[in-house]
Amino acid sequence: MLKPQINHRSQSTKTLFPFENSFLHGNGGQFFLLRVQSRPSSSNKASKVRVGFSSNIKAISIPFTGRNNNFTKVKAVVTVKRTIGSIVSDVTLTPGDIKDLVGRSLQLELVSAELDPKGLEKETVKDFAARDILASDGNDITYRAEFKVPLDFGDVGAIYVKNEHNLEFFLKDVVLEGFPNGPINIACDSWIQPKFKNEKRVFFTTKSYLPDKTPTGLERLRGEELEKLRGNGQGKRGFSDRIYDYDVYNDFGDPDSNPDLARPVLGGTEQYPYPRRCRTGRHRSRKDPNLEKRDDLLFYVPRDESFSGIKTLQFGAKAIYSVLHSLIPTLTSAIVDPDRGFPHFTEIDKLFNEGVDLPQKSKTSLINVIPRLVKGVADTAQSILKFETPEAMDRDKFFWLRDDEFARQTLAGLNPYSLELVTEWPLKSTLDPEIYGPPESAITKEIIEQEIKGFMTLELAIEQKKLFMLDYHDLFLPYVEKVREVKDIVLYGSRTIFFLNPDGTLRPLAIELVRPPIHGKPQWKRVYTPSWHSTEGWLWRHAKAHVLATDSTYHQLVAHWLRTHCCTEPYIIATNRQLSAMHPIHRLLNPHFRYTMEINALARNALVNAEGIIESTFSSNKYSTEYSSFVYGKKWRFDHEGLPNDLISRGLAIEDPSAPHGLKLTIEDHPFANDGLVLWDSMKEWFTDYVNHYYPNPSLIKSDKELQAWWSEIRNVGHGDKKDEPWWPVLETPEDLIEIITTIAWVTSGHHAAVNFGQYTYGGYFPNRPTIARTTMPDEDPTEEKWKFFLNKPERVLLNSFPSQMQATKVMTILDVLSSHSPDEEYIGDVPEPSWKDEPVIKAAFERYNGRMKEFEGIIDDRNANEDLKNRNGAGMMPYELLKPFSKPGVTGKGVPNSISI
Give the DSSP letter of residue 469.
E
For every residue of 329-341, DSSP letters joined together read HHHHHHSS-TT--
Active-site residue (options: 590, 756, 850, 898): 756
What is the distance between the alpha carbons of residues 5 and 505, in angstroms, rounded to a whole number? 77
Catalytic status, residue 565: yes
What is the distance between the alpha carbons of residues 173 and 863, in angstroms, rounded to a whole number? 42
How many alpha carbons lie under 13 Å from residue 875 in its C-beta half-sphere?
3
Q: How far apart are the first and last CA of the chain?
A: 56
Catalytic status, residue 44: no
Catalytic status, residue 756: yes
What is the distance between the alpha carbons of residues 626 and 273, in angstroms, rounded to a whole number? 9
Active-site residue (options: 583, 592, 752, 821): 752
For every residue of 489-544, DSSP letters joined together read ----EEEEEEEE-TTS-EEEEEEEEEE-SBTTBPPEEEEE---SSHHHHHHHHHHH
What is the distance between the alpha carbons of residues 19 and 85, in angstroms, rounded to a whole number? 11
Burial class (CB within 10 angstroms; exposed 0-12, middle 13-18, buried 19+) of 367 = middle
What is the distance between the alpha carbons of residues 125 and 70, in angstroms, rounded to a whole number? 14
Q: Specify the 3-state DSSP secondary structure of 790.
A: helix
Catalytic status, residue 752: yes
- Cβ neighbours of 270 (radius 10 Å): 7
Q: Specify the 3-state DSSP secondary structure of 252.
A: coil
Q: Give which of 105, 91, 108 is closest to 165, Cα–Cα.
A: 105
| Angle, CA 430 vertex, CA 425 and CA 431 arms, to 5° | 140
Q: Under a CB-based contact definition with an 8 Å cutoff, are residues 731 and 699 in contact?
A: no
Q: 592-602 b/e with 16+ CB inside 10 Å = b?
A: bbbbbbbbbbb
For residue 702, give every residue at least 6 positions away whose Cβ sits within 8 Å of its Cβ, in sequence order, or none: 708, 732
Q: Under a CB-based contact definition with an 8 Å cutoff, are residues 902 and 874 in contact?
A: no
**Phi, psi angles (nearest 5°) of residue 287:** -80, -30
Catalytic status, residue 902: yes
Active-site residue (options: 565, 583, 719, 751): 565
What is the distance between the alpha carbons of residues 484 and 474, in angstroms, rounded to a whole number? 17
For residue 398, give every residue at least 6 positions away whose Cβ sits within 8 Å of its Cβ, in sequence order, or none: none
Active-site residue (options: 560, 586, 640, 670): 560
Helix 567-578 to helix 219-230 angle (10° resolution) is: 140
Q: Specify the 3-state DSSP secondary structure of 175.
A: strand
Q: Give which of 619, 606, 507 is closest to 558, Cα–Cα.
A: 619
Active-site residue (options: 184, 243, 667, 902): 902
Q: Specify the 3-state DSSP secondary structure of 244.
A: coil
Q: 750-769 b/e with 16+ CB inside 10 Å = b?
A: bbbbbbbbbbbbbbbbbbbb
Q: What is the set of active-site residues?
A: 560, 565, 752, 756, 902
